[in-house]
Amino acid sequence: MEKQNTLIWEVTAWEFVFVTVLLAGAAAYLTGRAGAREWQANSTLVVYMVLLAAATRFIHFALFQGSLLSIHYYAVDLIVLLALAFLGKRITRAKQMGTQYSFLYRRSGLLSWEKKA
């Protein structure tokens, strides 16, 4: 397939979705869940996603002839991975607060909890 340099992806859209969103995104989501279960700080999660975004750029480079040292596409990958990682962390944290601290909080949605009256 031919490269489709756009603002979001430099390879084809299918390759971007497969590598960045599905493969690396699933790893980011699970990393966010693990960070929530271990009560780690957000800065730790950011460090992990910086490393995962670098690995994602390498996969684009090695398998699909993407550029390895492109700051723009690295930033795009990093933003997608950070969003999925923090989504996984927030969903897990809302579940934790509703179950582990059920005497104080109840879950009020997928991403939130509220104090009991």
Q: In the beta sheet, which residues pair with residue 45?
A: none
Q: What's the average model confidence in pLDDT over 18-39?
A: 97
> For residue 35, which of 78, 83, 90, 101 has the smallest C-alpha distance?
90
List the structure tokens of 99: 């179950």
Q: Which residues contact 107 (CB under 8 A, 6 or more apart)?
A: 94, 95, 97, 98, 113
Report whether 16 contacts 9 (CB < 8 A).
yes
49 closest CA partner among 69, 15, 68, 76: 76
Of 7-11, 20-24, 106-110, 111-115, the least confident: 7-11
User: Would you state the pLDDT for residue 2?
Assistant: 55
Does residue 49 carry a pLDDT above 70? yes
pLDDT of residue 117: 83
Q: CA-to-CA distance for 94 and 74, rounded, in angstroms?
A: 30
Q: pTM for the whole thing?
A: 0.89
Paired with 106 in beta bridges are 114
Structure tokens at 44: 């730790």
